[in-house]
Every structure is written in structure tokens, then in C-alpha cells.
Amino acid sequence: MIFKELIKIIIYGTLVVLFISVNALFLVWAERRVSARIQLRRGPIHVGWQGLLQTVADAVKLISKELVLPKEADRFLYILAPMLVFAPLLSAFLVLPLAQNVVIRDLNIGFLFIFSLTNITFIGIFIAGWSSNNKYALLGSMRAVAQNISYEIPLLLSTMGVVLLTGTLKMSELVPAQAKGWFLFTQPVAFLIFLCSSLAEANRAPFDIPEAESELVAGFHTEYSGMRFALFFLGEYTAIFISSAIAAALFLGGWQGPLLPGLVWFLIKTYGIIFIVMWIRWTFPRLRSDQLMALAWKVLIPLAMVNVFVTALVLELQKILA
């Protein structure tokens, strides 16, 4: 009995890790092609069919680089940090609703589980900056952590509107509740706030001050090379995938769709949102650190609170008038 569970755990774990690697490979290629089209150039087209193997070539190059350990750096923390950044994102796959009745663990607290684990990612980012013993890395990590904890509040508040409409946090009940109409149309403001906040949570442009390439050398992963840098990168693309998957499940109706199987619709909607995320990256200029904070505290949080208030008001009025 226990043996069967253990086998299941190993199989699921391997599948998840394989999926993350393939996903990151695909997304890096997609990003380079999308940015190339937006900037009127071609992008990678030589390595493999349509340039799909370009990322494999990059990965081989990264793995073959020397793993440098800076002299004054704190050794244990320096090695621990990339693992802390990447590991919680693996367990976020436990609650994604892939198809009808296919959720690996249908927790009572649903998507809040993922948002709580991303806090451990922030601790990892902070440790990465601190242990590198490098002032650019430290500055980058402090800004990253401040940005992340500020944007977590509108992220959670914007999902509260959806929770009010369905009365449950479970992922397996939030998706079928959209059978009559996607929450994108009943909660448009919440969708925009969610998209904005998840961009900021993943440290992605236009909110990518922490890893700003032209400002802080490379932010908190300045001193990392080779496989450790690859772990940070994998972490970022996985975070984007998970945020888009939650947005698809909460606002776009998850796996529901006419002809194709549920899993295919889920992936189509997720990658659609990822395409929008990449589009945004290459369209808007980067926000300055104080503009970023002002946006979170002065604009997004009041908007999200007003959204929750209006949703609750409309629900109560419906109950009274019915």
C-alpha cells in the first residue's frame, strides 16, 4: 500500500520535472521568436526546425560553464539559495486543475497554497543577494523582496472577488462554476489586477528592476553562473507558467471548451496568457523602483478593495431582490 503510493510519488515527480524542463525550453524559444517579431527581426531559425533546438544549445553551454564560488561569499547560503528559489514551484503543480476531476491533490485551500509557497521563493532571492557579498546583488535582492511583498496583496485581493462569487477556495469547484460564463466578463478589473500583480511577482518586465540588465549588472543573480543560474531561470519561467495557469483556471474557465479534451484547452488558455505576458514585456518600458511601489500601494490595492466591495454589494443586492 505504501509502496504503491511511493511509486506514484516518484512517477508524478519525474513527470513534473520533465514538464518543467520542456516548458522552459519551449518558453525561451517562444520568447525569442515573439520578441523578434515585435522588433521586426527573425529570431533563432537555424538550430533545428524553426530554431526549436536553440534552447538546447544554450542549456548545454550553460551546463558546461564553471561553477564559480566567490571568495568572501557565505558558502552554505550561496549554494542553498537557488534550491530555495526553485523547490516551492515544483510543489505548486499539486493544485492545478488539469482536466475534469484531474487535480493531483484537491486541497481545501486551493490556490492559496501556491501563493504561500512563493513566499519561500522570496526568502531564497534574498539569501541569494545577501550571500553573494556583492553590493549590486544585495541592492537587487532588497528591491526584489520589497516589490514581491508589496504586490502579493493585490494578487490575493483580486482573487477574493472570484472566491466571493463561488464561495469556495477549492480549484476543482472554481472551474466548473464558470460553465455559465467566464469570470473574465464578470470580474474584468480583477483579471487585470491579477495579471499585473503576477507579472510583478515573477519579476518580469515592465517590473523587472531586480534583474534589470542595464542597471544593476544582473541584480540578485550577478554572482551565479552555470547550473545555478539555470535554476534561477527555470524558476522564473515556471513561475510565469504557474501564474498563467491559475489565471486561466480562475478567470478563463480552465479546462472547459467544446471539442478538444480538457487538458488541451487548459494548455491553450495558459499559453495564450503567456503570449500576452511576453507581448507586454517587449512593449512597455521598465518602471522605476518608486513608481513600482506607488503603483502597488496607491493604485492596485485600493482598486482591488473596491472590486471586492462592489462584488459583495452586488451579491447581497441580488439576494435581496430575488
User: What residue ranges bind another protein (CB under 8 A)?
Assistant: 2, 77, 107-109, 112-113, 115-117, 119-120, 122-123, 126-127, 130, 138, 142, 145, 149, 152, 167, 169
DSSP annotation string for 211-224: G-TTTSTTGGGTT-
Q: Among residues 117 and 212, whose Cβ is nearest to another protein?
A: 117
Distance CA 152, CA 124 (A): 16
Q: Is residue 30 a contact partner of residue 37, using CB atoms and an 8 Å limit?
A: no
Cα 94 to the chain's mean position, in Å?
15
Q: Is 106 within 8 Å of 171 (Cβ atoms)? A: yes
Nearest 10 degrees: Cα torsion 35, 58, 203, 171: 90
Residue 154 contacts residue 79 (beta carbons within 8 Å): no
Consecutive H or E run containing 6:
helix 2-38
Minimal CA–CA distance to 23: which of 48, 49, 50, 55? 55
Considering the complex, what minimum distance in angstroms separates the CB of residue 112 from another protein? 5
Q: Which of 314, 313, 319, 166 is nearest to 253 (CA)?
A: 166
CB 130 to another protein: min, Å: 7
130 vs 191 by CB, closer to another protein: 130
Query: Which of residues 144 and 199 has its CB atom nearest to another protein in the complex?
Result: 144
Residues 160 and 194: their CA atoms lie apart, in Å, by 11
CA distance 201 to 193: 12
123 versus 267: smaller Cβ distance to another protein? 123
Which residue number, 115 or 191, has a Cβ lying nearer to another protein? 115
- Measured from the CB atom, the residue of 21 and 289 that comes closer to another protein is 289
**Taking the CA atoms of the chain, what radius of gyration do you get in angstroms?**
20
Q: Nearest distance from residue 179's CB to another protein, in Å?
A: 23
Residue with cell 430575488: 322
The distance of closest approach from Cβ of residue 54 to another protein in the complex, given in angstroms and rounded to an integer, is 37
Distance CA 239, CA 197 (A): 12
Least Cβ distance, residue 254 to another protein (angstroms): 21
Of 52 and 160, nearer to another protein (C-beta) is 160
Would you give the DSSP letter of residue 287? P
Three-point CA angle 261, 263, 264, nearest 5° = 70
Kindly state the smallest distance separating residue 186's Cβ from another protein, in Å.
22
**Residue 109 Cβ, how far from another protein at the closest point, in Å?**
5
Nearer to another protein, 167 or 181 (CB): 167
**Residue 38 CB, nearest approach to another protein (Å):** 35
